[in-house]
Structure 1
Amino acid sequence: MAVQNVFIAGMEKCGTTALSEWMVNSGLAEDRVPGIKEPYLYANDMPHPARMPGSGLPLLDASVGYAMNAAVVRRLPEYDTRLVLCLRNQFERTWSSYKMKKLMASGGREVEQYFSSYERGVANAVPHGDRPDEDLHRITRTFFPRRSHSFVERYELKELEHVRTHDFAARIEYELAFYLSRRTLPFVSILGASFYYLPLRHLLEKYQASDVSVLSVERLGDAQARRRFVAGVFEKDADTPEVPFKFSSSKVDFEEAKPDFNDKAFDLLRACFRYDLAQARALIPLTRFGDSLLDNAELDRYLEAR
């Protein structure tokens, strides 16, 4: 059977917007929900009407939180499906996530500038202004029963206030302490999507290893790598244009200076990232491309203490 479903199942702030736009604009796939990158249809077990692709192209869902939740992965269609997991240097990804959430919590012109960088959006997106965090609320609520939404929103607002009033180092310290005491991360976590082993394991527990592809999006700047990727994921032999690679927060004005990730203050986090990446690397060779589409040098940057 031909590929029917493609999911960019993770990870947030790893180039997934550029990758999904490239897939659609190159005629490789069409959005499962027209014009929406992240519909989060499978975030809960509510039934959703089936929609056949009008063009015959695979249906694309780039809801990047899927892989982090084993229950959600179990809901995804099993047959004729391909999964893509995008990885990025863990420190850089965490900093990018922090910038995004800080802007959402703070509001102002920078929020509008940030979200205007997206060509395709999130399901039920609302105009930004009085409630710039509303998209985040809408996504988060989809994972929880309706009766709990008021509690979820209060907790999320509390976490956004913590992000707004603390700097990057303080947020890292808070989230690590939160995890050590509760064995879970808080809402609005900047760290959660920086750990790659568990999301990859979730996918491999359900799918054939050949159904799962792991990559650094910047590697698709090479024409040969793109051709291999298209052949492996979409079962097509085709030339494609370059991926318009960009990180959406990279050019957004931000008052807080970017930290020196080589600083010893980050040694605990460095050890956590180093161990997690080593565990993920034990699984990556099982996937369709192994690590041949990963920028390993970039992933290893900052991991050795100085």
Structure 2
Amino acid sequence: MAVQNIFIAGMEKCGTSALYAWMVANGLAEERVPGVKEPYLYANDAPHPPRTRTSSLPLLDASVGYAGNAAVVARMPEYDTRIVLCLRNQLERTWSAYKMKKLIFGARADERIHHLSSQGNAETGRRRLDELELDQETYSITRSYFPRRSHHHVDRYLQKEREHLCSHDFAGRIEYELSFFLARRMLPFLSVLDASFLYRPMRNLLERYQPEDLSVVSVNRLADAADRRRFVNGVFGKDVETPDVPFSFSSGEVAFAEPKPDFNDKSFDLLRAAFRYDLSQARALIATTRFGDSLLDNAALDRYLDPR
């Protein structure tokens, strides 16, 4: 049968928004929930109304937190489904996640307008501010993974993590999250590290789906017309030409008071070692998937991982 479902199941801050918009704009898929990139319909087992299709195109859901949760993956449709996982250098992705979460939860609205408009006029800043007004959406998504009776506990812990995030710098947040993990074998809410570990999401997806159902990609690789055509053919079963993916990392355009760290510094050796091992384990799984690592920017993934 034709592909019925497309999921961009991870990872955040890896170009998923650009890829999602490109799929819709080029008639490769239609939105599972119109106008909503990340509906998180499968975050829990609550019933939701079936989507009334407006075309024969597969339904697209780009809820980027799915891959990291085995229970969520188990709820996703199993048949006639293709999964896309977007990857990025783990250290750069962590910094990007930290930067955006700090902007979302840390600054007052007038400060955010100032930061964002520094790259353009005030109207551009306000428009980008609207894009970043995600604090309540983040709370809502996090709550959706838990029963309603526990939401007051979820909100309390979210507030504690928000306060920690806002009161520490990048190095302090990394130290806290690693210590949290070593003590509890889990990462805290609002984690900046979670989506940088790749083995567990890969394992979760391959426990449910056939390797050929899973495509792993660095979105910048789709700038190449031949790679892009191979991607479209493998995921959607269509041999068509498409324009380039209009791709950039949004956080790179935002002014930020805290300077970008030097990831080659020895202070990152522990995190570097953790990422290096995780990536090596993930690569063994990636090799089995539809494209293997042929659509990955392997040089970028390996950057900073060798100690100097």
Task: Give the letter aligned to residue 249 of structure 1.
Answer: S
- Residue of 169, 185, 193 corresponding to 1:167: 169
Partner Cα separation in structure 1 for residue 216 and residue 263 of structure 2:
25
What TM-score, normalized to structure 1? 0.94
CA gap 1:69/1:214 in 2 versus in 1, 3 angstroms: same
User: Taking structure 1 as reference, are residues 34 and 110 closer, same or farther at Cα in structure 2, changes over 3 Å only?
Assistant: farther
C-alpha RMSD of the superposition: 1.6
Q: Deviation string for 1:242-261 (max 9, x for gaps)?
A: 00011121101110000000
Segments of 5+ residues of structure 2 without an aligned counterpart are 117-124
Query: 227, 235, 238: which one pairs with 2:237?
Result: 235
Partner of 1:62: 62
Equivalenced residues, count = 297
Distance 1:146 1:246, change over 3 A: same
Query: Which piece of structure 1 moves more, 133-142 or 45-54?
Result: 45-54
C-alpha distance in structure 1 between counterparts of 2:198 and 2:111, whole Å = 29
Task: State the distance in 1 between where 2:50 and 2:137 align.
Answer: 24
Aligned partners of 2:105, 2:194: CA distance in 1, in Å?
18
CA distance in 1, matches of 2:78, 2:111: 40
Query: Match of 1:81?
Result: 81
- Cα separation, 2, equivalents of 1:291 and 1:106: 37
1:29 paired residue number: 29
Matched residue, 1:180: 182
Provide the rounded CA distance (Å) in 2 between the counterparts of 1:272 and 1:218.
25
Deviation at 1:55, TM superposition (A): 1.4
Gaps of 5+ in 1: 122-126
Q: Paired residue for 2:210?
A: 208
Contact residue 117 and residue 248 of structure 1 kept, 8 A: no
Amino acid across the alignment from 1:273: F
Amino acid aligned to 1:76: M
SS of match in other structure, 1:170: helix
Distance in 1 between the 2:15 and 2:43 partners? 21
- For 2:229 and 2:35, locate their aligned partners in 1 and report how far apart those are by CA, in whole Å: 25
Aligned to 1:261: 263
CA distance in 2, matches of 1:298, 1:49: 41
Deviation at 1:115, TM superposition (A): 9.0
Contact 2:6/2:82 (8 A) holds in 1: yes
Which residue in the other structure is 2:295 paired with?
293
Instruction: Tell me the amino acid that sits aligned with residue 31 of structure 1.
Output: E
Structure 2 match to 1:92: 92
One-letter identity of the residue aligned with 2:306: E
Indicate if the aligned counterparts of 2:32 and 2:61 stay in contact, CA closer than 8 A.
Answer: yes
Q: How far off its partner does 1:52 sit?
A: 3.6
SS at match of 1:274: helix
Distance 1:110 1:293 in 2: 39
